[in-house]
Amino acid sequence: MKKYLAVALGILTAIGGFVDIGDLVTNAVVGSRFGMSLAWVVVVGVGGICLFAQMSGRVAAISGRATFEIIRERLGPRAGTANLVASVMITVMTLTAEVGGIALALQLASGVQPLLWIPVAAFAVWLVIWRVKFSIMENVAGILGLTLVVFGVALFLLGPNWGDLRSQALQQTSHPRETPLTYWYYAIALFGAAMTPYEVFFFSSGGVEEKWTEKDLVTSRANVMVGFPLGGVLSLFIAGCAATVLLPRGVDVDALSQTVLPVAIGAGKLGLAIVILGVVAATFGAALETGLSAGYALAQFNGWSWGKFRRPAEAARFHLTIIVCLIIAVLVLLTGIDPILVTEYSVVFSAVALPLTYLPILVVANDPQYVGEHVNGRLLNAVSSVYLVIILVAAVAAIPLMILTKAGA
Amino acid sequence: MGVREAQSAVGAARIALTSSEDGDATRALAETMVDEAGVRMSSASSQASAFKPTDRRTTAQLEAVTQALGDADTAIRHASEALAGHPGAPSIHSALDELKQSADDLDRLAGKLEPPR
């Protein structure tokens, strides 16, 4: 019974923890501009993150080693350093977006300017990372993030024309205000939002933190294979709300307030209160994960002592890295840069950096020295190879499309 | 030339005002949205200012766009004042009418201009 409860809790946490500021913003932007036409990208992206997390979770459980220890070992110090720099930069960019997201959500609740919330949010993130136990931190943020289900409730209450939404998703209806280049630019952004590298660093390092063994493979697989797809459904609800309320009125989402407004219209002030709570929980949870992921990446690569299972004094450089990353995030945000803009860039650059971590994990998941008899099967390798091609195409096309579309403007 | 941004800003301000009036959205959310719409109008105006007309036709277009953007900016400012409820501020109802008029003007103008992108 206790085991089933642990699996259920893990799944709920995975659902609630799936959505972050990148998913909130990108799905709403896409819904407001393309309706449900890019729903297929969410499906592809969720499939990819399931595959990636499942492989890295398996590697962590069997070998007891996390992503960046393996990357350094497999790629060597030089290529590994280039990989580390790119991955940490993307993770810090995502952390900046998440801290900005917390501040924006608190602004919606309080009316107080986000600039005043930014240091408070970053301090709270640090305090939780410093003081709170890993499992409590992970479960509370994930469970509170589940309140984002209110997007689904609001969508039903809005009473959209389901046939229209279905035909947008399946028949790729035309978008007179858009060009094919912006369509593909946002397809990559949505893919990057679903397959953010930090999620995998966090997932695999979390496996080491929680001392996973071979016995935990079933639980880890259930969390990924059930939790992430249901999290993807939340993403589709966000896009559906924007497609129903904002697309017909010609409002292109460029602010968090516009992302949550459809919930207020569908589910009233109670719905609004719940969705703001959900956004704070989702962005706060993701800020914890990205902050930790930056620390994990640097510490694992350099062979420093790391992890929340150790007292901070025993993993001083790991904690110092997190503090420095949070300070960088705060300083960037205090320049007055729009957190939504940072988010939009972070999801695209996530797509650019994705092959750097996907490929080593794919190689190691096939190496019996690391995973023993639990190497990828033929079918899994076939699917993983298809994804490798998709990931490479997205990574190569992202920057040219960004330039050609002026970042989707 | 910033018309699309202005359409989006006016649209956002209209929904914010309507949902606040209907009691769906809180005043804080509506005010935030209208303020953001104001910021977006500044960006739309910058885009229009950066546009360099090459002939008489584009000069006329730019004049029409500048006029419409100015009207939209005023409509959003009035919406902000209506929400704040300062003495002498327009009512929510008249601010909504003004936004609707501005949205119609922008739609007409967008139809006359070349395809947006």
DSSP A227: I
CA distance from start to end of chain A: 52
Instruction: Provide mean pLDDT across the span A376-387.
Output: 95
The domains of chain A are located at 2-404
| ipTM of the complex model | 0.87
Indicate the residue of B7, B19, B36 with minimum beta-carbon distance to A264: B19
Nearest Cα residue to A202 out of A119, A98, A101, A335: A98
Q: How far is CA A332 from CA A96, A286, A324, B62, in A?
A: 7, 18, 12, 36
**Cα nearest neighbour of B115 on chain A:** A177
Position A209 scores a pLDDT of 84
**Cα nearest neighbour of A104 on chain B:** B32
Question: Is B28 an interface residue toward A (CB < 8 Å)?
Answer: yes
Model confidence band, residue A79 (pLDDT cutoffs 50, 70, 90): confident
CB-based contact B15:B107 (threshold 8 Å): no
Tell which of A33, A107, A258 to mutate to test the B interface (max B CBs under 10 Å).
A258
- B88 burial (CB, 10 Å; 0-12 / 13-18 / 19+) is exposed
Instruction: Provide mean pLDDT across the span A280-303.
Output: 92
Model confidence band, residue A106 (pLDDT cutoffs 50, 70, 90): very high
Out of A30-34, A43-47, A224-228, pick the least confident.
A224-228
Query: Using the beta-carbon criterion (under 8 Å), do A255 and B36 form an inter-chain contact?
Result: yes
Measured distance CA(A95)–CA(A330) in Å, rounded: 10
Position B115 scores a pLDDT of 54
Position B114 scores a pLDDT of 59
Out of A287-291, B14-18, B44-48, pick the least confident.
B44-48
Conformation bin of residue B70: beta by default, left when phi > 0, alpha when psi is -120 to 50: alpha
Instruction: Provide mean pLDDT across the span A326-348.
Output: 94
Of chain A, the percentage scoring pLDDT greater than 70 comes to 98
Question: Is A113 an interface residue toward B (CB < 8 Å)?
Answer: no
Quick: pLDDT tens for B22-71.
888 888 889 999 999 999 998 888 888 887 777 888 788 888 888 889 99
* Chain A environment of B42 (Cβ under 8 Å): none
Indicate the residue of B8, B19, B31 with minimum beta-carbon distance to A265: B19
Residue B116, pLDDT > 60, answer no
Interfacial B residues in 52-71 facing A (CB < 8 Å)? none
Nearest Cα residue to A289 out of A8, A55, A22, A73: A22
Position B117 scores a pLDDT of 44
For residue A352, give both structure tokens. Answer: 């650019």
Position A2 scores a pLDDT of 67
Conformation bin of residue A179: beta by default, left when phi > 0, alpha when psi is -120 to 50: beta
Residue A163, pLDDT > 90, answer yes
**Cα nearest neighbour of A253 on chain B:** B8
Residue A49, pLDDT > 50, answer yes
Residue A214, pLDDT > 80, answer yes
Higher pLDDT, B109 or A176: B109
Residue A13, pLDDT > 80, answer no
CATH architecture assignment, domain A2-404: Up-down Bundle (1.20)
SS3 A398: helix
Side chain identity, residue A294: A
For residue A220, give both structure tokens. Answer: 């880890």
Residue A16, pLDDT > 70, answer no
Out of A67-71, A95-99, A227-231, pick the least confident.
A67-71
Residue A210, pLDDT > 90, answer no
Q: Cα A185–A85–A288 angle (5° rounding)? A: 80
Out of A216-225, A238-247, B13-22, pick the least confident.
A216-225
DSSP string, B54-97: -SHHHHHHHHHHHHHHHHHHHHHHHHHHHHHT-TTPPPHHHHHH
Question: Is B44 an interface residue toward A (CB < 8 Å)?
Answer: no
Higher pLDDT, B115 or B70: B70
* Chain B environment of A261 (Cβ under 8 Å): 15-16, 19, 25, 29, 33
Measured distance CA(A137)–CA(A333) in Å, rounded: 25
Side chain identity, residue A177: R
Quick: pLDDT tens for A116-127.
999 999 999 999
CB-based contact A322:A130 (threshold 8 Å): no
Residue A394, pLDDT > 60, answer yes
Instruction: Provide mean pLDDT across the span A348-361.
Output: 90
Q: How many CB atoms lie within 10 A of CB A170?
A: 12
Instruction: Provide mean pLDDT across the span A319-332.
Output: 96
Instruction: Provide mean pLDDT across the span A304-316.
Output: 88
Nearest Cα residue to A239 out of A23, A22, A4, A10: A23
